[in-house]
Amino acid sequence: MTLKRLLLVLLLPVLLTILFFTSNRSKGKTVWIYASMYKDVVAEFEKPLKEAFPEIQIRWYQSGSENVAARVNAELSTGLSQADLILTSDPFWFVELKKGNHLFPYVSPESLQLDSKYHDPEGAFSINRLPVGVIVYNKASISMEQAPRSWDDLKSSSWRGKISMPSPLESGTALTFVSQLVRKKGWPYFEALKKNELLSAGGNSAVMQRIETGEKPVGIVLLENALQTKKRGANIEIVYPSEGVIPVPSPIAILAKSKNIESAKKIYDFFFQDTAQRIYLGANVYSPTLKSLAPESAKPFSEIDKTVFDWNAKILSELQENKETIKNKFTEMILQ
């Protein structure tokens, strides 16, 4: 095989492959949405969005909160992000973006029924969906009578070596869990969990898998993961702790340098309309506007709302300021 012959042989397949890649690129007025949502949820949004805005081409980057944040941060560090709209479940990141003047202040007329505590006071972002953190256990390993009923129950020594939660170093929701538990119960709570050999690693689905397999039969985890796993037929049970569930308010915002602010606003509005909110409910996430409804086989929001951990803009900014301290202290206490 000489070089010339090889080049000739390869010419055709190379051209075909390049053709394959260039053929499915499209042009037009586009709005980029960066979202931390499940794949199938994004798929659900695609059709109604297309119907509502045929003139706008909507493109998605869909990944975990951390990936979305890392990508937007990297893009912003060059001065310009491709994203127009961002939706993730890490409220702290939005506060940080707001402080850096990266967000375009906008209050949607569609979000008027939203509790004022879910609006940023300056309108930089609003809470668009409301995942919550609960306790989940494996019914094969733990009987209904033994099962924990409250966050404080997890302190009991009978759970030694059996509890896991996602790691605040790897998952944004876990950081929300930790900071809100610390705010409500103080560090002694985690001292007690440390005595119980709390395992804190991975994201929510890693915790869910540990519960499912019985490796760590009790876990602090997002309700949506639990509902989904349960639907698959796993032998697990969900506990809504008596002190309340942990809210993980998930904001939506428009980036200040978006080249398409007007289109972005329209889509922003759409995410507060009932169609969009119902898609969230179908995806096992609570809607902050349709309060009478709940994801299938979950407790109604109105009931959860009575005990849910406190949340408002002040708490958010206070937690955000202490973010690093909380992370470091948790690392020292649990992860070393």
Nearest of 133, 48, 46 to residue 89 by alpha carbon: 133
- Binds another protein by CB under 8 A, chosen from 12, 47, 77, 116: 77
Residue number, 35 or 308, with CB nearest to another protein = 35
Nearest of 157, 149, 172 to residue 70 by alpha carbon: 172
Task: State how far the Cα of 30 lies from the Cα of 82, in Å rounded to an integer.
Answer: 10
Q: Residue 136: CB partners within 8 Å, gap ≥ 6?
A: 208, 211, 218, 219, 221, 226, 236, 237, 238, 239
Q: Does the protein bind another protein through residue 9 (CB under 8 A)?
A: no
Smallest gap from residue 219 Cβ to another protein (A): 13
User: Is 229 exposed, middle or buried (CB count within 10 Å of its CB: 0-12, 13-18, 19+)?
Assistant: buried
User: Which residue stretch of 35-43, 118-126, 127-135, 239-247 sits at the interface with another protein (rule: CB under 8 A)?
Assistant: 35-43
User: What is the total count of residues that contact another protein (CB under 8 A)?
Assistant: 68
CA torsion sign for 186, 207, 142, 283 is positive
- Binds another protein by CB under 8 A, chosen from 89, 108, 128, 167: 167
Residue number, 82 or 317, with CB nearest to another protein = 82
- Binds another protein by CB under 8 A, chosen from 48, 52, 63, 194: 63
Residue number, 127 or 234, with CB nearest to another protein = 234
CB 185 within 8 A of CB 220: no
Q: How many residues are there in the chain?
A: 336
Question: Which residues lie near another protein (CB under 8 A)?
Answer: 1-4, 6, 10, 13-14, 17-18, 20-21, 24-25, 38-40, 59-64, 66-67, 69-71, 73-82, 93, 96-97, 100, 167-170, 172, 175, 199, 201-203, 205, 209, 212-215, 228, 232-235, 259, 323, 327, 335-336
